[in-house]
Structure 1
Amino acid sequence: MEAIELGREIGKLPHNLQSEVLAFIELLKAKQENLSKKKQREFGIGKGKIKISEDFDAPLEDFKDYM
């Protein structure tokens, strides 16, 4: 729907509904601003923060009976 068409349709509405449309437009604009402000995740940001021990794959003592 083009902007001119949209304006005509909104103009046909009663004043109270036009106010609701305006409030909804403001809500959508605020929502869009919040989405654009979110920081994009950066690949590799946690590199070096997690350490895995050398014996990670070693069998556990608790499971000796099952091996």
Structure 2
Amino acid sequence: MIHGDITYTDEALRQNQLSVVFEDKELAKETLENVRTFIKSNNTVYLSTHTPEGLTSLKNNTIMKL
């Protein structure tokens, strides 16, 4: 999953924290919850945008666990 800037890091996703950049905070929260719901229901390789963890996850096919 390429998530845009919902969260910048895997840990932020695990902690249910938004990134610091969004135009509509309520919509961003809703989108974050949709992403988390999807990941909980589907094996997902999550690609963080601001950490090397995303590249490692892609290379190793690491499934995100929440």
Fold conserved between structures, TM > 0.5 = no
Q: Which has the higher helix share?
A: 1
TM-score by length of 1: 0.31
Structure showing greater Rg: 1
